[in-house]
Amino acid sequence: MAYTTIDKPTDYFNTVLYTGNATARSITGVGFQPDFVWNKTRSAGQNHFLYDSVRGAQKDIRSNQTGAEGTSDAVTAFNSDGFSVGSGNDGNENSQTYVNWNWKAGTSFSNDASATSVGTIDSTGSASDTAGFSVVSFTGTESNGTIKHGLSTAPSMMIVKNRNISSQWWVYHASLGATKSLNLNATDAEQDVAVIWNDTATTSSVFSVGTGNEVNGNGNSMIAYCFAEKKGYSKFGSYTGNGNADGSFVYTGFKPAFVITKRTDGTVDWYMFDNKRQNSFNVVNGMLRPSATSVELDDSSVYVDFLSNGFKWRGNNAGNNTSNGSYIYMAFAESPFVTSKGIPTTAR
């Protein structure tokens, strides 16, 4: 049995670091033309700026805020090996350090729901079935509906934002099921809100939305980031904390490049880590929070090891490893545990 279908994960996800110089320029080294770029200043308390090729460059939404879509120059173009930044402070302030997480989709699609009988709400977007990732745009109806996501596998995780109004960022995660939701912009525990996902799980062709304005406002422009699990490349699961400095181990089937976690039964921030910032060896430090403007934090209570087949906590912080705490995560690979040619990977 194959261990993975993606031997080189950096063809579809990659993290890039740079230092601002207040001069418009291109940031290279991504390795592909990204369709989703998540930008954060590491050294200053600034917003998280999220851009995608479906909405277009310079159109930002901010994961730490509820505000409608704005305009900024942290990403001014999507290029063949990365993206361009402007001269402003949002993404290129002189001497500040930045991290950008980049995902590739790449194949455009458009769905007329009435003509294809796929879903009930028209959608357009960009998708990669190989990587299990799509960016989906649709216009809300404020009636229960279904939307084509462009993948052939049911998404295990989705992040949806209303572009036109001040609204929460709603997160669907298969480990919670369709009756529960989380807010990316907040510390809230899981919520049971039927008007978000209409209590309906994703399928191999569509996802469901309820009547809530924040995911389906009548006449409002919506954006959804959809992630389907791919063996050896991405994993979206759950675990229980053990409250021990020799913390819980989470099996992913690959050496992680990027991990986000959230406690679901407590009021705690989302935490995010990657393989490029801070140490190039274990332990991994340099935590950032999608729901906060905070600078990069080096805190031993949230240290984690990126291993050849998963990740292991090295602290007992409430945000990632409290005793009997319930957590969900999303993770992307640096390298599969074993490639399709039988070559094993190693820990950092």
Model confidence pLDDT, tens digit, residues 13-31: 999 999 999 999 999 999 9
Place of tokens 């049911």: 154
Nearby residues of 32 by Cβ (< 8 Å), 6 or more positions away: 11, 12, 14, 80, 81, 102, 104, 106
Per residue in 107-120, pLDDT (tens digit) is 999 999 999 999 99
pLDDT at 258: 98
- Pairwise CA distance, residues 222 & 213, whole Å: 10
**Strands 97-103 vs 206-209: parallel, antiparallel or unpaired:** unpaired
Mean pLDDT, rounded, of the chain: 96
CA–CA distances in Å: residue 116 to residues 85, 110, 113, 122, 148: 39, 10, 5, 10, 10
Per residue in 41-84, pLDDT (tens digit) is 999 999 999 999 999 999 999 999 999 999 999 999 999 999 99
- Pairwise CA distance, residues 213 & 154, whole Å: 24
Place of tokens 């709400």: 121
Per residue in 312-347, pLDDT (tens digit) is 999 999 999 999 999 999 999 999 888 887 778 887
- For the stretch 328-341, what's the b/e string if a residue is b when 16 or more beta carbons lie within 10 angstroms of its beta carbon? bbbbbbbbbbbbee
* Cβ-contact 255, 347 below 8 angstroms: yes
Per-residue confidence band for 278, with pLDDT thresholds at 50, 70 and 90: confident
CA–CA distances in Å: residue 251 to residues 19, 36, 227, 237: 34, 26, 18, 9
Does the pLDDT of residue 33 top 90, yes or no? yes
Closest CA to 207 of 237, 183, 228: 228
Q: Which CATH class is domain 107-227?
A: mainly beta
- Pairwise CA distance, residues 172 & 158, whole Å: 5
Q: Stretch 195-219: mean pLDDT, rounded?
A: 98
Helix and strand counts by DSSP (H, E) for the chain: 4, 25
What does the CA dihedral 134, 139, 145, 148 come to, rounded to 10 degrees?
A: -30
Per residue in 241-257, pLDDT (tens digit) is 999 989 999 999 999 99
- Pairwise CA distance, residues 3 & 18, whole Å: 33
* Cβ-contact 223, 209 below 8 angstroms: no
Locate the domains of the chain by residue range. Answer: 9-103, 107-227, 239-336
